[in-house]
Amino acid sequence: MHRRTDNPAPSTIRNRRNRARRLAKLLKQLGGRCQECGSRRHLTIDHIYGRDWDIRKVHSWKRLRIYEEEADAGKVQILCLSCNSRKGQPSADDGYFGPEE
C-alpha cells in the first residue's frame, strides 16, 4: 500500500530519532572522541584500512548500518575532520558527522 504525502510520515520522524540514537551509540562505542587528538568536534568515521565500498552508491541511512558492522569488526575509528584530512585520504566523502556537527 502506497500513500502519497508531502509531509514526513510519523514513521520517518521515528526513523530519524532512531538513527540519531544509533549514531550516538556508535560514536560512544568508538570512544566518542578523535582517536588522534581527543577532539570531540567535527567527528568523522574513518576507515582504518580504507573503505572497500562506494559511499556514493549507498544511501546515508544504510551507511549507518555498515558503520555499525564495521565498528563491531574493528574496521573503523573516530577521527576529527582535521586529523582525518591529515591522513591524506579524501575525507569529505568518508565523513559521517557526529551529532555535534
Chain residues binding Zn ion by CB under 5 A are 34, 36-37, 39, 80, 83
| Cβ atoms within 10 Å, residue 99 | 9
Here the cell at position 94 is 568518508
| Closest distance to Zn ion from the beta carbon of 69 (Å) | 24
Task: Report the alpha-carbon distance of residue 18 to residue 29 in Å, rounded.
Answer: 16
Judged on CB neighbours under 10 Å (0-12, 13-18, 19+), 22 is middle
Nearer to Zn ion, 61 or 97 (CB): 97
Cβ proximity to Zn ion: between 34 and 64 the closer is 34
Q: Closest CB to Zn ion among 8 and 32?
A: 32
Task: Give min distance, CB of 9 to Zn ion, in A.
Answer: 38
